[in-house]
Amino acid sequence: MKQTPLEKKVLDNFKPGKISKDGFLGYDTRHIHDIIKEDLLTLSRMGVEVEIIADRLQHFIEEGKKGLETKVDLGDFTVQIAWDRGLLPCPFGEPRLHHKIIATLYNKKLDKEIKYSQLNVHMIREHGFFEGKASRFRLEPEDLFEVLEIKNT
Ligand SMILES: [Zn+2]
């Protein structure tokens, strides 16, 4: 996972209206690095690597794509993706664009749903970033662990 110091210009990308209408931080006023550090600590306590979570999230996006934009039944889960036109940059600023895909994943047994974007998967995998508290697409590591049914080995 890359850990690059964030410059002021890059930090602006996380604010509302820059890349995403709602921004990536919610009411969270902590530095991005502190948000990342805390979530990675939570993950290490659970014994899970970011790659495991990102792989699982990506798996469900790929399954969702097969249904185009209709709901796909996967037995214990259903997944539905919405795919908007255009591409999004990552707020961390590297020159790479991401599809505007949003997945709604429902875990039938738990009766719990999570919603996440393709950009979320990228940010988790490459930056260890789950977004700030109460941001629209904030993903709690504990929720992901539970809903994705990740077994630590
Ligand atoms: Zn990135």
* pLDDT tens digits, 25-52: 999 999 999 999 999 999 999 999 999 9
What is the model's pLDDT at position 66? 96
Determine the length of the chain: 153
Average pLDDT over residues 92-98: 94
Mean pLDDT comparison of 2-6, 11-15, 122-126, highest-scoring range = 122-126
Cα of 61 from ligand 1 centre, angstroms: 18
pLDDT at 89: 96
Residue 61 contacts residue 121 (beta carbons within 8 Å): yes
Mean pLDDT of 127-145: 95
User: How many other C-beta atoms lie within 10 A of the C-beta of residue 4?
Assistant: 10
Task: Label residue 130 by pLDDT band (50, 70, 90).
Answer: very high
State the residue for tokens 């961390």: 92
Q: Predicted confidence band at 4 (pLDDT cuts at 50, 70, 90)?
A: low
Token pair for 119: 């950009």
- State residue 8's pLDDT score: 82
pLDDT recorded at residue 5: 67
CA 121 – ligand 1 centroid, Å = 10
Distance 65 CA to ligand 1 centre (A): 22
Ligand 1 center–CA 97 separation, angstroms: 9
Mean pLDDT of the chain: 93
Give the up-direction half-sphere exposure of residue 4: CA atoms within 13 A in the CB hemisphere: 12
Ligand 1 geometric centre to CA of 1 (Å) = 10
The enclosing H or E element of 99 equals strand 97-107
- What is the per-residue pLDDT for 120? 97
How far does residue 114's CA lie from ligand 1's centre (Å)?
A: 21
- Tell me the Ramachandran region of residue 86: left when phi exceeds 0, alpha when psi lies from -120 to 50, beta otherwise: left
Q: List, for residues 62-83, the tens digit of each pLDDT value.
A: 999 999 899 999 999 999 999 9
* C-alpha 128 to ligand 1 mean position (Å): 10
Angstrom distances, CA of residue 71 to CA of 78, 85, 86: 7, 19, 22
